[in-house]
């Protein structure tokens, strides 16, 4: 496997690093405390073309999935909230339309999502449909040339900000996973409203909410593929999303690692820098090895997707290992920094809180184990 970056990819990484350092990092703590989104950074990301990276020339993309994943990683080093907002927009909303949408749907919705002019969200989860995604209760009833949606989605990342929603609803209540269909829904659609804004443990700057559909009319032209294809669309789209979350986890782990190394070189106890104590060095070694493992699996999954190889299992492995690494590294970073690590003067406590959700969303890590072991026994 060759993970040597081309000069174009290195340029993308360098410019995203600069953006992250100057436009995201300085505001990350303040915005997370206020629960506000860094919209200015999102606008800068749009100007840089970051939302189009994995898509083709028709939407001014670079057809470079690895560069996109490297960008999620760089941004997440300083702010997990901006990292997931970016990943949801590109992987789950735009990515779904790119893979399964008609040419008309791509022209109307993918273009503005890829340019960053519009923000996207993915509406699968419901109060009674989390891990069992097939249990969605939102219904879409066909009436003439329209579908009428009724139901409630929850935990929707970008929910309050989005202009475009990729929504999964039942068109046949008795057909199990084959009774679910996917729709592209505009924010302005009558009958669509934003419900409760979630109050979260971490990624507090990301905007997450309920999305409510009350007799919400959607043109039949906005059905993605055919009726009954929605579950498979959701699963396939989530395979890509999981590489994004894995990159987010990797970035959070790397961000915490950099912080703790800097701290340990400066912090003195018993007359010496704490970096000189072997017990602590061994924790650093474990953190380093977990990050490197995660990095390989994340880039491998990204390359599999980029090269058109199957990537469900490599995405699940990457998500499992990278997000567990994020939790391990951030928890130990707090521990190594002692009382200072626990205080909000340093970013590692925020990183530890942000890391937790990466083990949960886009399929808990137990779901990733189901996918990996299912493949092993197939
Ligand atoms: N790609 C394409 N099709 C797939 C697929 C994939 N990766 N995985 C499964 N399918 C297909 C199967 O082939 C099967 O098709 P047929 O009926 O034609 O044979 C169909 O889907 C049903 O598959 P399963 O029987 O395996 O489905 P299941 O009901 O047992 O569910 C599961 C399996 C893995 C647990 C799945 O429900 C799952 O992934 N759950 C987690 C849901 C999830 O990730 N939610 C995240 C919400 S979004 C979010 O978090 C975003 C955010 O805001 C950050």
Which parts of the chain are beta strand (E)?
A: 120-123, 139-143, 146-157, 164-170, 180-186, 192-197, 208-219, 223-224, 268-269, 272-273
Q: What is the CA 183 to chain-centroid distance, rounded?
A: 20
Q: 133 CB under 6 A from ligand 1?
A: yes
Give residue-wise pLDDT tens across range 97-146: 999 999 999 999 999 999 999 999 999 999 999 999 999 999 999 999 99
Pick the residue whose CA is nearest to atom 40 on ligand 1. Answer: 131
Q: 211 CB under 6 A from ligand 1?
A: no
Q: 162 CB under 6 A from ligand 1?
A: no
Pairing of strands 139-143, 120-123: unpaired
Q: 125 CB under 6 A from ligand 1?
A: yes
CA-closest candidate to residue 259, choices 358, 336, 205, 325: 336
Check residue 285 and give its pLDDT. 98
Q: 235 CB under 6 A from ligand 1?
A: yes
Task: Supply the residues annotated as catalytic.
Answer: 362
Q: 359 CB under 6 A from ligand 1?
A: no
Share of the chain above pLDDT 90, in %: 99
- Ligand 1 centroid from CA 119, angstroms: 24
- DSSP per-residue codes, 9-45: HHHHHHHHHHHIIIIIHHHHHHHHHHT---HHHHHHH
SS3 127: coil
Pick the residue whose CA is nearest to atom 14 on ligand 1. Answer: 232
- Ligand 1 centroid from CA 302, angstroms: 20
Q: 372 CB under 6 A from ligand 1?
A: no
Give yes or no for residue 1 having a pLDDT over 70. no
Q: 177 CB under 6 A from ligand 1?
A: yes
Check residue 275 and give its pLDDT. 98
- pLDDT band at 4, cuts 50/70/90? confident
The structure tokens listed for 8 are 């174009």
- Count of CB atoms situated within 10 Å of the CB of 191: 15
Give residue-wise pLDDT tens across range 346-374: 999 999 999 999 999 999 999 999 999 99
Pairing of strands 164-170, 120-123: parallel
Q: 157 CB under 6 A from ligand 1?
A: yes
Closest atom of ligand 1 to 241 CA is 51
Give yes or no for residue 375 having a pLDDT over 70. yes
- DSSP per-residue codes, 244-272: HHHHHHHHHHHHHHHHHHHHHHH-EETTE
What predicted TM-score, i.e. pTM, was given to this entire model?
0.97
Q: 312 CB under 6 A from ligand 1?
A: yes
- Ligand 1 centroid from CA 135, angstroms: 11
263, HSE (Cβ side, Cα atoms, 13 Å): 21
- Ligand 1 centroid from CA 371, angstroms: 9
Give residue-wise pLDDT tens across range 158-210: 999 999 999 999 999 999 999 999 999 999 999 999 999 999 999 999 999 99
Pick the residue whose CA is nearest to atom 1 on ligand 1. Answer: 236
d(CA 332, CA 347): 13
Residue the block writes with tokens 């729709």: 183
Give yes or no for residue 301 having a pLDDT over 90. yes
Pick the residue whose CA is nearest to atom 31 on ligand 1. Answer: 132
- pLDDT band at 255, cuts 50/70/90? very high
Closest atom of ligand 1 to 125 CA is 47
- Ligand 1 centroid from CA 231, angstroms: 7
Pick the residue whose CA is nearest to atom 33 on ligand 1. Answer: 132
Share of the chain above pLDDT 70, in %: 99
- Ligand 1 centroid from CA 235, angstroms: 4
Give yes or no for residue 306 having a pLDDT over 90. yes
Pick the residue whose CA is nearest to atom 8 on ligand 1. Answer: 235
Mean pLDDT, the chain, integer: 97
Give residue-wise pLDDT tens across range 58-91: 999 999 999 999 999 999 999 999 999 999 999 9
- pLDDT band at 21, cuts 50/70/90? very high
Contact call for residues 138 and 149 (beta carbons, < 8 A): yes
Check residue 3 and give its pLDDT. 76
Helix (H) or strand (E) holding 77: helix 65-78
Closest atom of ligand 1 to 208 CA is 53
- Ligand 1 centroid from CA 69, angstroms: 22
């Amino acid at each position: 496997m060759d993970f040597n970056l081309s000069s174009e990819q290195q340029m993308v990484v360098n410019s995203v690093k600069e953006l992250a350092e100057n436009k995201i990092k300085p505001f990350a703590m303040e915005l997370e405390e206020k629960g506000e989104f860094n919209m200015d950074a999102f606008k800068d990301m749009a100007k840089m073309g970051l939302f189009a990276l994995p898509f083709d020339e028709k939407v001014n993309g670079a057809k470079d999935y690895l560069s996109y994943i490297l960008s999620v990683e760089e941004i997440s080093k300083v702010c997990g909230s901006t990292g997931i907002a970016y990943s949801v927009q590109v992987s789950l909303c735009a990515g779904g339309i790119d893979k399964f949408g008609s040419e008309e749907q791509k022209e109307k919705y993918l273009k503005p999502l890829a340019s960053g002019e519009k923000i996207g969200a993915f509406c699968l989860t419901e109060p009674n449909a989390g891990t069992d995604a097939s249990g969605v209760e939102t219904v879409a009833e066909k009436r003439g040339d329209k579908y009428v949606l009724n139901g409630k989605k929850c935990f929707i990342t970008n929910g309050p900000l989005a202009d475009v929603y990729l929504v999964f609803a039942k068109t046949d209540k008795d057909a199990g996973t084959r009774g679910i269909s996917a729709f592209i829904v505009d924010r302005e659609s009558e009958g669509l409203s934003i419900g409760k804004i979630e109050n979260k443990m971490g990624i507090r700057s990301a905007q997450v909410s309920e999305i409510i559909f009350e007799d919400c009319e959607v043109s039949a032209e906005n059905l993605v593929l055919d009726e009954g294809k929605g579950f498979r669309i959701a699963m396939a789209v989530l395979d890509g999303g999981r590489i994004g979350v894995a990159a987010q986890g990797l970035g959070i782990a790397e961000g915490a690692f950099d912080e703790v190394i800097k701290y340990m070189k400066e912090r003195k106890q018993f007359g010496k820098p704490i970096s000189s104590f072997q017990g602590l060095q061994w924790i650093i070694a474990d953190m380093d090895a977990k990050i490197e493992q995660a990095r390989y699996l994340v880039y491998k999954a990204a390359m599999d997707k980029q090269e058109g190889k199957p990537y469900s299992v490599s995405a699940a492995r990457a998500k499992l290992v990278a997000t567990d690494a994020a939790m391990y590294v951030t928890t130990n970073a707090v521990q190594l920094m002692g009382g200072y690590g626990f205080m909000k003067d340093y970013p590692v406590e925020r990183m530890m809180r942000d890391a937790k959700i990466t083990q949960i969303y886009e399929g808990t890590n137990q779901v990733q184990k189901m996918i990996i072991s299912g493949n092993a026994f197939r």
